[in-house]
């Protein structure tokens, strides 16, 4: 199992904005992606090969806002693909996803379990 902890992600509703030139990434998403990317590189997680199961644990009580937990999955899942931690986020790779709130987590903790028991790379 590979476990990473990232900053609390923006909602899917806040990832892109519409402009006269089309949809572009929001500054909030860009800032999160930069910070989360550095945090991911600092942790140096192994890379999963093939199908995986993902468990997301999001920080509960971050603020008083009501949140839709499923809207928090997209940004961290895309980041895992961008940095090669998982090969893709489509149905050929991500076989299952579980998401829950946790008072024991700051940001989001993601457990990545290779379905075939394969993982390679360095881990600290």
- Please report the pLDDT score of residue 63 as a whole number: 78
Residues of the chain with pLDDT under 70: 117-124
d(CA 33, CA 31): 6
Reported pTM: 0.86
Q: What is the mean pLDDT of the chain?
A: 90
Label residues 48-79 b or e (16+ Cβ within 10 Å = b).
Answer: bbebbbbbbbbbeeeeeeeeeeeebbbbbbeb
Tell me how many helices (H) and strands (E) the chain has: 2, 8
Residue 77 in contact with residue 87, Cβ under 8 Å? no
d(CA 107, CA 8): 4
Nearest Cα residue to 69 out of 35, 28, 97, 30:
97
């Amino acid at each position: 199992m590979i476990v990473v902890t990232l900053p609390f992600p923006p909602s899917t509703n806040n990832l892109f904005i519409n402009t006269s030139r089309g949809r572009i990434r929001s500054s909030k998403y860009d800032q999160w992606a930069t910070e989360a990317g550095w945090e991911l590189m600092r942790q140096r997680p192994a890379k999963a090969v093939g199908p995986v199961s993902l468990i997301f644990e999001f920080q509960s009580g971050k603020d008083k806002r009501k949140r839709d937990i499923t809207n928090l999955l997209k940004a961290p899942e895309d980041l895992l693909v961008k940095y090669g931690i998982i090969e893709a986020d489509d149905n050929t790779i991500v076989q299952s996803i579980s998401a829950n709130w946790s008072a024991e987590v700051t940001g989001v903790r993601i457990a990545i379990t290779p379905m075939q028991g394969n993982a390679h790379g360095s881990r600290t």
